[in-house]
Amino acid sequence: MSRIVVHGLEKSYGDAHVLERVNVTAEPGEFLSLVGASGCGKSTFLRILLGQERQSGGVVVVGDRPIVPEPTPQRGIVFQRYSVFPHLTALQNLLLVEDFRSGGPFGRVFGARRRSARQEAETMLERVGLAHARNLYPASMSGGMQQRLAIAQTLLGRPQILLLDEPFGALDPGIRVEMHELLTELWVEHGMTVVMVTHDIGEAFKLGTRVLVFDKVRHDPQFPSAYGATITYDLKLDRNHRASSRDVAKVAAMVGTTRLDSAIATTAS
Amino acid sequence: MLARGTSAAQAGAGADLASQPAGVPKTRLRLINATVSRSGAVLLGALPFAAVAAAYLVASAQRLAVNANDKLLPAPAQMWAAFFDLATVPDKRSGDLILWADTYASLVRLFAGVGLATLAALLLGVAIGFVPRVRAFLLPFVTVVCVIPPLALLPILFIALGLGETAKITLIAVGVAPVMVRDIANRVMELPPELVAKAQTLGGNSWTMVLRLVLPQIMPRLITSVRLALGPAWLFLIAAEAIASTEGLGYRIFLVRRYLSMDIILPYVAWITLLAVATDWLLARLSHVISPWAHPVQNR
């Protein structure tokens, strides 16, 4: 699908620097897991990829041109919350994709196009195991069902890049494992590039083909937001082999150490 | 008889309040945790109505015992007779059934005014809430208009638009619209940014997002907004009718005030209350029909 090239990416809010000198290239079909301490800017990075926020400097190229600074169908997203439309049932949520894609004055497709959209939606519901819930509103679904629906909806949009912002963060451990399997299957079927932000190091290693650690290289104890975070560690994984526990421990330590450091900085200031 | 009913209600409510399911140790719960059973709630809710009715009946009976021609606190039978007359006996001069003519005139004004305000709230509120340029253009203006007391505009409206229906309907619309516009604009701005981003990743453009995301999402709030606006709308309606009108519920009340006709005023107030409660109930039902997702079934 599409290659992502990020070069010299900077993001700051006034004086506060969040990201600096972020360089990364993702080949088509890669699965990038982004980890890092809370507030290290990995979610900001994802929102820039999405187009929800604009970078302060640098370029992001997807495919062969820089991304436009607004969300487009090129990049699909699944958030941790608010990822499906609460006023539509499961089936209507999926039908909405074709309605939006048509872009017509009624925001709705009719006739043969609606029938084929319905068929596609039913197949997708079946695929993610929500056929029995087709007429339920999200409010009466469990968190896991809602995230299944969110992923199904995003995939119907046929994005070149799938962005995931802690998609399973609010789910029970058991449901989370199910979701990992589903996501892996869908990733293999569709072959798109995936960028996932997660707090769960295990999840990052289990799903990703590459783990990227976001952290600050430079610290100013008097002014913690003087410097932004960047990618400090870039580990390629082989999904056919279990990641070595040493690698996992190393990344866990990197993510943990930042917290320790910033905690020390906070108490010292 | 009513006094007995009241004390029975108190006793019943007291018994219900104390009841707890078997197997639960009898403890004194905090005030905020002691819930009321369904029948207990009905009885408690009826209590203030019964108290007011009882107080009125006692006071009315006392005054009528001293002076049978007293006009201030007429007996229920007198009020019913006067009300029934207005509802069924054609007026000698115009031939109208006064109650229905008044009700029709007032409701037309009320719904026209509130309808216009709702339309404005929908168009302006969505535009202000969803389109940054329109927000920059109109929000300061709407915010300022919001704080103008509408009744202060009434003379201006009567001078500019004459004493006819236009002025009255405009007063109601102008009176309630600014608050509704702001309310809807706020609600649109409170839409989770995740939903708006998601809609865009699915290919939504500004217009289709208004149709498929914004409108359905704000519909429950719009109906709530109309329900809340109906209170002030009645106020403006009656104020306008009191000053310049030839028919209408407010006009009638202020007309018969000259003759101290409490036997008409009180039933009219009750009638207006009934109309307001019925409208409110209908709107609440409408919200359930239009936006079932916003009212999850509780007894699941």
**Residue spans per domain, chain B:** 2-71, 98-294
Q: What is the pLDDT of residue B62?
A: 94
Q: What is the pLDDT of residue B4?
A: 45
Spell out the alpha helix ranges (H) of B98-192: 98-130, 132-146, 150-161, 165-189
* Contact yes or no for B283/B226 (Cβ under 8 A): yes
* Average confidence score pLDDT of chain B: 89
Q: What is the pLDDT of residue A242?
A: 63
Q: What is the pLDDT of residue A146?
A: 92
Lowest-confidence region among A70-79, B6-15, B157-166, B213-222: B6-15
Query: What's CA A173's distance to the chain center, in Å?
Result: 19
Q: Is B148 on the interface with A (CB under 8 A)?
A: no
Architecture category of domain B98-294 in CATH: Orthogonal Bundle (1.10)
Per CATH, the homologous superfamily of domain A4-74+159-268 is: P-loop containing nucleotide triphosphate hydrolases (3.40.50.300)
CB atoms within 10 A of CB B165: 16
Q: What is the pLDDT of residue B169?
A: 94
Exposure class string for B83-97: b at 16+ Cβ within 10 A, else e: beebeeeeeeeeeeb
Share of chain B above pLDDT 90, in %: 73
Partners of A58 in the β-ladder: none
Distance between CA A48 and CA A65 in Å, rounded?
Answer: 15
Instruction: State whether B204 and A100 contact (CB < 8 Å).
Output: yes
Q: At B154, is the pLDDT very low, low, confident or very high (cuts 50, 70, 90)?
A: confident
Q: What is the pLDDT of residue A137?
A: 94
pLDDT in tens, A114-151: 999 999 999 999 888 899 999 999 999 988 899 989 99
Q: What is the pLDDT of residue A265?
A: 41
Q: Is B298 on the interface with A (CB under 8 A)?
A: no
Q: Which amino acid is at B253?
A: I
Number of Cβ pairs closer than 8 Å across A and B?
90
Q: Is B205 on the interface with A (CB under 8 A)?
A: yes
Give which of B208, B113, B200, B103 is closest to B154, Cα–Cα: B113
Lowest-confidence region among B5-9, B64-68, B198-202, B271-275: B5-9
Instruction: State whether B203 and A106 contact (CB < 8 Å).
Output: no
Reply yes or no on whether the pLDDT at B280 is more than 90: yes
Give which of B109, B150, B116 is closest to B234, Cα–Cα: B109
Spatial neighbors of A267 by CB under 8 A, at least 6 apart, are none
Lowest-confidence region among A30-39, A204-213, A241-250: A241-250
Exposure class string for B230-256: b at 16+ Cβ within 10 A, else e: bebbbbbbbbbbbbebebbbbbbbbbb
* Angle between helix B215-243 and helix B165-189 axes, rounded to 10 deg: 150
Tokens of B56: 């009125």
Q: Which amino acid is at A56?
A: S
Residues of B with CB below 8 A from A71's CB? 197-198, 200-201
Q: At A1, is the pLDDT very low, low, confident or very high (cuts 50, 70, 90)?
A: low
Q: Is A97 on the interface with B (CB under 8 A)?
A: yes
Residues of A with CB below 8 A from B293's CB? 86-88, 137-139
Q: What is the pLDDT of residue B21?
A: 60
Distance between CA B298 and CA B300 in Å, rounded?
Answer: 6
Tokens of B225: 């907004």
* Contact yes or no for A235/A255 (Cβ under 8 A): no
Most confident stretch, A36-45, A58-67, A213-222, B107-116? B107-116
Q: What angle do CA B110, B185, B206 make, to 5 degrees?
A: 115
Mean pLDDT over A209-227 rounds to: 83
Reply yes or no on whether the pLDDT at B277 is more than 60: yes
CA end-to-end span of chain A: 48
Q: What is the pLDDT of residue A263?
A: 36
| Minimum CA–CA partner of B292 in chain A | A87
Mean pLDDT over A20-32 rounds to: 89
Share of chain A above pLDDT 90, in %: 32
Q: Rounded to two decimals, what is the model's pTM?
A: 0.83
Q: What is the pLDDT of residue B24?
A: 67
Distance between CA B213 and CA B157 in Å, rounded?
Answer: 38
Tokens of A25: 């290239």
Q: In the Cβ-directed half-sphere of B30, how many Cα atoms lie within 13 Å?
A: 2
Q: What is the pLDDT of residue B20?
A: 54
Q: Is B132 on the interface with A (CB under 8 A)?
A: no
Instruction: State whether A154 and B201 contact (CB < 8 Å).
Output: yes
Reply yes or no on whether the pLDDT at A240 is more than 80: no
Reply yes or no on whether the pLDDT at B11 is more than 50: no
* Contact yes or no for A56/A10 (Cβ under 8 A): yes
pLDDT in tens, B25-55: 777 889 999 888 999 999 999 999 999 999 9
Q: At A232, is the pLDDT very low, low, confident or very high (cuts 50, 70, 90)?
A: confident
Q: Is A228 on the interface with B (CB under 8 A)?
A: no
Instruction: State whether B217 and A87 contact (CB < 8 Å).
Output: yes
Reply yes or no on whether the pLDDT at B199 is more than 60: yes
Tokens of A243: 């990641």
Instruction: State whether A96 and B212 contact (CB < 8 Å).
Output: yes
> Which position has the higher pLDDT, B220 or A176?
B220
Instruction: State whether B208 and A101 contact (CB < 8 Å).
Output: no
Most confident stretch, A199-203, B85-89, B218-222? B218-222
Instruction: State whether A72 and B293 contact (CB < 8 Å).
Output: no
Distance between CA A85 and CA A141 in Å, rounded?
Answer: 12
Residues of B with CB below 8 A from A48's CB? none
* Average confidence score pLDDT of chain A: 85
pLDDT in tens, A80-102: 888 899 999 999 999 999 999 98
ipTM: 0.87
pLDDT in tens, B51-97: 999 999 999 999 999 998 888 999 999 999 999 999 998 988 888 89
